[in-house]
Amino acid sequence: MVIWFIVLIPTIEPRRFLEVLKGPACWLPVAFVGLAVVGTLWADGPWPARLQGISPVAKLLAIPFLIYHFERSRRGFWVLVAFLASCALLMGLSWLVLFAPGWKIAATEVPGVPLKNSINQSQEFALCIFGLAPLVLASFKQRRLALAAACAALMLAFFANMMFVVLARTALLYMLVLTILFAARHLERRAMWLLFMGAAAIAILTWFTSPYLRERVERVGFEYREYTEVFEPTSTGQRLEYWRISIRSVGEAPLFGHGTGSTRQLFDREAVGKTGAWANSITNPHNQTLYVALQWGVLGCIVLYAMWYFHLLLFREAGFAAWIGLIVVVQNIVSSLLNSHLFDFHEGWMYVLGVGVAGGMVARAKRAGNARSQVNDAGPVA
């Protein structure tokens, strides 16, 4: 990104860039970063911790530059194709390391994860599934059956990997929401109900044929009982405990929060006297709203929700690029109920790049449409 900025900045036309920046989809991410910078002034922690608190938000500054660039560039689709190709390679490697762990790039403990973790991998594969879905539909309508079959096979491969090899449980939630969104956006009522029945049949079939899926889902109940009965630091239990602590801490400073970078300090205070995993020093409460509210209170939540809202509006038009941007935003909003995916490195950059590239493609298409409309309105020239 640093190299990209070095190449991009000399080509920027200031007047046009300022016009792009006036849109709320562009200036709200900048305002969010500005809030994080100003929030360092009322934080109580040491300055290195305050400055570190700016880092998870700073990536949002790239959004207006990406929208500006891909409004001018014809190569936005290349980025989407490259993402799909890289995820297809990762999916193939995931199947490989499931049976041959020695091929792993990083020494992760989870089978089927060649590098990073299951949450990152599921986030990517789900985007590919729903990004390919309208291509299958369009290809089928155009009688391009070979292309439709290839895209459908790739979708099935991603889905099978998630259900039988490695799955982040949060993916089950946002995949349900994205399925409903796809039906509402692309299908007529009859086709919509056929999709829902087919999806239900696939879900039932997958449940009975995938011991891995059943174990992952049933483990939620086990983890909850371990947390409530013996206070065991399970994944589910830790989330619930982090939320409980966060809600209480937000109540101490509801309007403007505790300041940028204060999250670790608040959780370190709660960890005093505890042992094991409960004594770990953390900064992530695993909920985006709570993460923001802890540091910047209601003011921060207003900025967060406003940014999400205007990014949703950015992709309200029809078209493939708008669909990609929409699923990126919706996936981030839904997954942020159980994680802090806007501030997490991998998922956060997926959001920034997805909104920036797709947003620029949508803006380019809109400008081209407006230009054609002006030509048509002018009529023939004598």
Q: Is the dihedral of CA 232, 234, 240, 242 positive or negative?
A: positive
Separation of alpha carbons 268 and 282, rounded Å: 7
What average pLDDT does range 108-131 have in this prediction? 92
- Buried b / exposed e over 197-236, threshold 16 CB at 10 Å, is eebeeeeeebeeebeebeebeeeeeebeebbeeeebbbeb
293-315 residue pLDDT tens: 999 999 999 999 999 999 999 99
Question: Is the alpha carbon torsion for 170, 176, 178, 179 positive or negative?
Answer: positive
How far apart, in whole angstroms, are the C-alpha atoms of residue 239 and residue 231?
12
Average pLDDT over residues 191-207: 94
* Cβ–Cβ under 8 Å, residues 354 and 324: yes
**Average pLDDT score, the chain:** 91
Q: For position 322, what pLDDT does the model report? A: 96
Residue 101: band (very low, low, confident or very high) from pLDDT cuts 50, 70, 90: confident
Tallying the residues shown for the chain, one arrives at 382
Confidence label for 382 from pLDDT (cuts 50, 70 and 90): very low
In angstroms, rounded to a whole number, what is the distance separating the alpha carbons of residues 26 and 24? 5
Q: Which of 158-162, 217-221, 236-240, 365-369 has the lowest mean pLDDT?
A: 365-369
pLDDT for the residue 380: 56
The answer to whether residues 284 and 320 touch, using CB atoms and an 8 Å cutoff, is no
Q: Provide the pLDDT for residue 381.
A: 47
Using the 8-state DSSP alphabet, how is residue 258 labeled?
A: S
Q: Given this model, what pLDDT does residue 377 score?
A: 58
- Look at the block and give the residue holding tokens 């959780």: 267
In this prediction, residues 171-190 reach a mean pLDDT of 94
pLDDT value of position 378: 55
Q: How far is Cα 328 from Cα 174, in angstroms, rounded to an integer?
A: 11
Cβ pair 258, 249 in contact under 8 A: yes
Residue with more model confidence, 80 or 232: 80
pTM higher than the cut 0.75? yes
The CA–CA distances, whole Å, from 13 to 17, 18, 69, 72, 356 equal 6, 9, 11, 11, 18
pLDDT of residue 227: 85
Structure tokens at 22: 């006036």
Listed in sequence order, the residues at least 6 apart from 288 whose beta carbon sits closer than 8 Å to its beta carbon are: 304, 336, 337, 339, 340, 341, 342, 343
DSSP assignment, residue 360?
A: H
SS3 of 306-330: the string is HHHHHHHHHCCCCCHHHHHHHHHHH
pLDDT at 90 over 60: yes
Give the residue among 303, 266, 271, 304 at the shortest CA–CA distance from 283.
Answer: 266
Rounded Cα distance between 351 and 340, Å, is 12
pLDDT score, position 374: 62
**Burial degree of 169 (CB within 10 A; 0-12, 13-18, 19+):** middle
User: Which one-letter DSSP state was computed for residue 338?
Assistant: T
- Report residue 250 as tokens: 């937000």
